[in-house]
Amino acid sequence: MSPEILTNCAQCGAPIAQRAKGRHRRYCGDTCRRRAHRLRAEAWTFVEANDPQLASLPTLEDLYASEHGDDFDLAAWWQDCEARGIVPPRSERQGVPAGAGRHATPSPEDSTVDHVSVTIREAQAVAAKLRRHGLAAEGLVAVRCAAVASALDRALAEHFGDVL
């Protein structure tokens, strides 16, 4: 007979006898598993950009300034990275194919209104996912996700508000 390990149910805290080998159970039964699933689903609700619970969160600009200071020059930092060989020079990055780890710049015939509309919708979907992570993640990750979602929402509204 294999030795058993005692753990607690992730939902109700009841003790669960686990086998020493194999996959361990997280829940004591189907009732707790379903309840945990429902609670997770309820936590992933859509939050509007102007929701009061997001008002107290720092903006992306606040987080950036707190890490790099107000006088941080991104262009100079990038040039320094190029000079130290951390990233390839701009001239070598221009024609990188899409399969090489980054997206190639679309050609003019691929930048139709329909393609741009799809990209805007994709950006809105990313903002929604980040908003959800802002509610469900823990600690500073949640704050950063919510801040990036808010900044992305503002940028989309500012630059594409008339076409959304």
Give me the residue spans of the domains in the chain. 1-43, 46-94+109-164
The pLDDT value recorded for residue 72 is 65
Q: How confident is the model at residue 105 (pLDDT cuts 50, 70, 90)?
A: low
- Name the token pair of 119: 């990209």
Check whether 13 has a pLDDT greater than 80.
yes
User: Token pair for residue 55?
Assistant: 């008002």
Burial class (CB in 10 A: 0-12, 13-18, 19+), 147: buried
Tell me the pLDDT band of 14, cut-offs 50, 70 and 90. Answer: very high
4-8 vs 15-19, strand pairing mode:
antiparallel
Whether pLDDT at 19 is above 90: no
What pLDDT is attached to residue 30?
Answer: 93
Would the pLDDT of 127 be above 80? yes
